Amino acid sequence: MKKAIYPGSFDPPTLGHLDIIRRAADIFDDLTVGVLDNRAKTPLFSVEERVNILKELTKDMPNVKVESFSGLLVDYAKANGYHVSVRGLRAITDFEYELQIAQTNKMLSGGELDTIFLTTDVEYSYLSSSGVKEIASFGGDISHCVPEFEIEMIYAKYGK
């Protein structure tokens, strides 16, 4: 049984995240989307809201589950038997950051946690959660960025 975790903030989940989830779910028998509960940051959506949104987005994917975690990914992975972390790469700027995280996780896990990268579909290569938030905060069109049912939820956060 090949299992993997796709960790991230997903604040909010975008079509780019969903594309990575779909493709990773085709590769692994069991995929967990791990929503990071980072107490040091104030997210737009609470961790419970992000988990619920991702559960809704993946409800037709039987081998995908959604969970939240806090603390270090390596500790969560060790406690739950994950040896593979999935991350998405959009551009060379992502690569430098992601390479550092991957190597740090490899070191911290004593070599137990590997990272697999999926390159973004070009259709979504410009998408980021922070970009979506910026556009939405000015009432701009986010319909090409996030699944339809999220749109009103995001605007509501900005009183739009």
Q: Which residues are catalytic?
A: 17, 41, 90, 129
Interface positions, 107-136, toward ligand ADP (CB under 6 A): 120, 124, 127-129
How many Å apart are CA 43 and CA 35, to the nearest integer? 12
Cα 6 to its chain centre, rounded Å, is: 6
Is 17 a binding residue for ligand ADP by CB under 6 A? The answer is yes
| DSSP letter (8 states) at residue 63 | T
Per the CB < 8 A criterion, the answer to whether 54 and 35 are in contact is yes
The one-letter amino acid at 37: D
Q: Which is nearer to ligand ADP, 1 or 126 (CB)?
A: 126
Q: Which is nearer to ligand ADP, 1 or 41 (CB)?
A: 41
Whose structure tokens read 């809704």? 56
Q: Which is nearer to ligand ADP, 76 or 124 (CB)?
A: 124
Stretch that binds ligand ADP, among 22-30, 51-59, 88-96, 133-141 (CB under 6 A): 88-96
* Helix (H), strand (E) counts: the chain: 6, 5
Residues that bind ligand ADP (CB under 6 A): 8-10, 14, 16-17, 20, 87-88, 90, 94, 120, 124, 127-129
